[in-house]
Amino acid sequence: MFHGTWGYIHRINRKIFKEFDQEDFSIKRYKEDISRSAQLDVTPAILIPSFEENKHFYQVIKSQIAQVLMKYLATGTNSKSPIALTPPPITQIKAQKPNIQMLKLMIASDNSAEGVGKVLEDIVR
């Protein structure tokens, strides 16, 4: 039973998809990937960052610490630092207001066809 359950649909900006191969987002590719996932062995190694990601993270942390040290603690005339004061660049996605549609899934539904019908009507709206 659901009592006042909410859900949402988040529509991703289509401009982001233009940067990728459209075949990667096809139903055929989705089904292939889902069928392959049944045989996938999940190990901790696939969940940890790569060497390059770790290296980038450490460079960002070092640059942030160096900025604070140079701004608030360092004294003297030599402002040169062997550690970069600006973090390495990243590929950024343009910030936009997300397109999110809230759905009131069911109001005190007893899992009847009427409750499911209301959910589908909200999705269509």
Please report, for the chain, the start and end positions of each structural domain, with discontinuous segments joined by +: 5-40+64-124
Number of H helices, E strands in the chain: 4, 2
Tell me what the pLDDT averaged over the chain comes to. 81
What's the CA gap between 125 and 117, in Å, rounded?
12
The whole model's pTM is what?
Answer: 0.49
% helix, strand, coil for the chain, step of 5: 45, 15, 40
State pLDDT tens for residues 52-104. 999 999 999 999 998 888 888 876 566 676 778 888 888 877 788 888 888 76
Alpha carbon 50 to its chain's center: 17
